[in-house]
């Protein structure tokens, strides 16, 4: 296994991680910013006001995107496993 092979696998792994983890994290970030702005304007400082909506939005995003996320992860894993003989040489 060469350094180029390891770099290629690592690069692909980071791409998959960013594609899979990005949408839920970004939706949580956007909702958190909107609620934080709302709290600043209204001067309401309640912890559950930020936690519950972010949690619901992230779970909703995971629910909607789970087929796509699963397909990405399965494709990456399948390609990695099928390439094992080439990596050993």
pLDDT at residue 48 in the model: 77
Say if CB 60 and CB 23 are below 8 A apart: no
Angle, CA 10 vertex, CA 27 and CA 26 arms, to 5° = 5
> Tens digits of per-residue pLDDT, 23-45?
999 999 999 999 989 888 888 88
Q: What is the pLDDT of residue 75?
A: 95
The reported pLDDT for the residue numbered 49 is 80
Q: Where are the domains of the chain?
A: 3-88
């Amino acid at each position: 296994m060469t350094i180029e092979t390891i770099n290629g696998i690592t690069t692909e792994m980071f791409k998959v991680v960013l594609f899979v983890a990005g949408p839920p994290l970004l939706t949580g970030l956007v909702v958190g910013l909107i609620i934080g702005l709302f709290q600043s304007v209204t001067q309401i400082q309640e912890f559950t006001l930020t936690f519950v909506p972010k949690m619901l939005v992230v779970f909703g995003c995971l629910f909607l995107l789970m087929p796509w996320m699963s397909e990405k992860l399965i494709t990456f894993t399948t390609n990695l496993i099928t390439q094992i003989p080439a990596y050993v040489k």
